[in-house]
Amino acid sequence: MKKILSLLSVFIMICLAFSGSAFAATGKAATHKAVAKAPALSKESKDCIACHKEENPGVYGPWAESKHAKNGVGCYECHKADKSRKDAQQHNGFMIGVIVSPKDCGRCHAKESKQMTESHHAKAHQFTGSLDNFLGRIVTGEQNFNLGCAQCHGSTVEVLPDGKLKGGTWPNTGIGRINPDGSMGNCTACHYRHGFALDVSRNPKNCGKCHQGPDHPQIEIYELSKHGIDFDTNREEIMAKAKTKNFVLGKDYNKGPVCSTCHMGATRQLPSTHDVGARIKWTLRPPISKVLENGEKKREDMKKVCSECHQQPWTDGFFQQFDDYVKLYNDKFAIPATSIMKFLAENKVTDPTPLNEIVEIHYWHLWHHEGRRGRHGAAMNAPDYSHWHGMYEVAINFYFMLLPAADEAVAARKDPALSAKWEEFRAKIMDSPEHKWKKGMAKEEAAQVIQFYQNRYGKEGGQ
């Protein structure tokens, strides 16, 4: 019994000794200021550096300046790979992997890794079956290379028998990349190696690499909103603060805001998050917008961000305007347009192949391009996107492209019964108060509209 006890105590002492050294190696001992010193670099990482400092100054340099270097996190700590891993390769006496996946980073950054992995970002590669995918693979014929979609959404990285990564599927830093270890997502989509500097991640252009263009112009919207202009004007001051961990809205800074301020960053009331969907009420992506699960709670969190710079009536008033905009888009255009497409499909006016008929292209533009632009513009304060690039184009499309194309497609069938059914269906939509104007206004009403321009520009105006 005595022997067992003494063995046990030796065991406990060994455990304590090990946990003590592990403690020091993770840098947590830094809280004991008196004994703190920079954690040493491992012997393995020193070996890597002996070659790579010369071989790749552009890898070594940013790393040497990084927080990782200062905390003893070297090449080996990130690149080491268990030999069971598909992409493990023998490399000058070490087992390494080129890819450092969210699982690898998660060994030291568990919270960020979990939040990112559970967010929509990590799922961005799962678009098979979508119309976007059909457009990319079939209509434009891009199925054989990984430029375009995969650069934003992520590729499936394939591995050769010797553990090297297969060119074509690599390099790739898309946000929902599927990694050889089975994990989804990619930390270097936002954290540039090997500096991993926070000012790069917080730079709005970093998000804009993907959040741009005709179907999701968030960066264009932001840059010409008052928030973006305030950031641009105070860029140097804000970016200097954005280098550090102390970037709490309302405490460390109160200008900007940048994209990550609203969607990720810490405020005096909120912790930071790597789930970019955590503060969003609506999804503005599908043809008809829906309120997300726990949408109201998420909205409350977003309001907490605004509240560091605005008062509640301002914020509440703004969100009322935004919600009304989304409802108008849904009710006046998206729901009727969707029901028209359903009518055409059910009555076999359109065939099952997607996007091979002009009416389908008009519908696609209405929700995927014009409708999204408008909704995004309304969400993030860009008047031109809300109206001229947004609802204006939705309305022109609905009345002058989609409806006439549907009329023509039905007429081409030369089926009187079908035409009658269509007329009845169409009238239900077009006789409603919000569409009635299209049938013509009273003479005096129309004259009034023209008169406005004639008053401003003379007789030629208003034609």
Residues 248-287 that bind ligand HEC (CB under 6 A): 249, 254-257, 259-266, 272, 274, 276-277, 280-285
Exactly one of 87, 155, 178, 247 binds ligand HEC (CB under 6 A); that residue is 247
CA 455 to chain centre: 47
Cα dist from 347 to 137, 269, 403, whole Å? 28, 54, 16
Exactly one of 81, 100, 184, 409 binds ligand HEC (CB under 6 A); that residue is 100
In contact, 76 and 42? CB cutoff 8 Å: yes
In the block, which residue shows the tokens 């009345």?
A: 399
Size of the site for ligand HEC (CB under 6 A): 123
Residue 241 binds ligand HEC (CB under 6 A) = no
In contact, 244 and 201? CB cutoff 8 Å: no
Query: Which range, of 4-12, 95-103, 394-402, 436-444, touches ligand HEC by CB under 6 A?
Result: 95-103
Where in 299-318 is the site for ligand HEC (CB under 6 A)? Answer: 299, 302, 305-306, 308-310, 315, 318
Residue 378 binds ligand HEC (CB under 6 A) = no
Give the CA angle between residues 38, 39, 40 to the nearest 5°.
110
Cβ at position 366, least distance to ligand HEC in Å: 16
Residue 41 binds ligand HEC (CB under 6 A) = no
Of 319, 310, 336, which Cα lies nearest the Cα of 434?
A: 336
Residue 379 binds ligand HEC (CB under 6 A) = yes
Residue 374 binds ligand HEC (CB under 6 A) = no
Gap between the Cα atoms of 415 and 422, Å rounded:
11
Q: Which is nearer to ligand HEC, 72 or 462 (CB)?
A: 72
Cβ at position 199, least distance to ligand HEC in Å: 8
Residue 42 binds ligand HEC (CB under 6 A) = no
Exactly one of 15, 16, 20, 55 binds ligand HEC (CB under 6 A); that residue is 55
| Long-range Cβ contacts of 43-52 (<8 Å, 24+ apart) | 44/74, 44/75, 44/76, 44/80, 44/94, 45/74, 45/75, 45/76, 45/77, 46/74, 47/76, 47/92, 47/93, 47/94, 48/74, 48/75, 48/76, 48/79, 48/94, 49/74, 49/75, 51/92
Where in 396-455 is the site for ligand HEC (CB under 6 A)? Answer: none
In the block, which residue shows the tokens 């891009």?
A: 142
Q: Which is nearer to ligand HEC, 220 or 406 (CB)?
A: 220
Where in 107-166 is the site for ligand HEC (CB under 6 A)? Answer: 107-109, 112-113, 116, 120-121, 123-124, 127, 130, 132-133, 135-136, 148-149, 152-153, 164
Residue 328 binds ligand HEC (CB under 6 A) = no
Gap between the Cα atoms of 261 and 46, Å rounded:
38
Exactly one of 41, 81, 88, 105 binds ligand HEC (CB under 6 A); that residue is 105
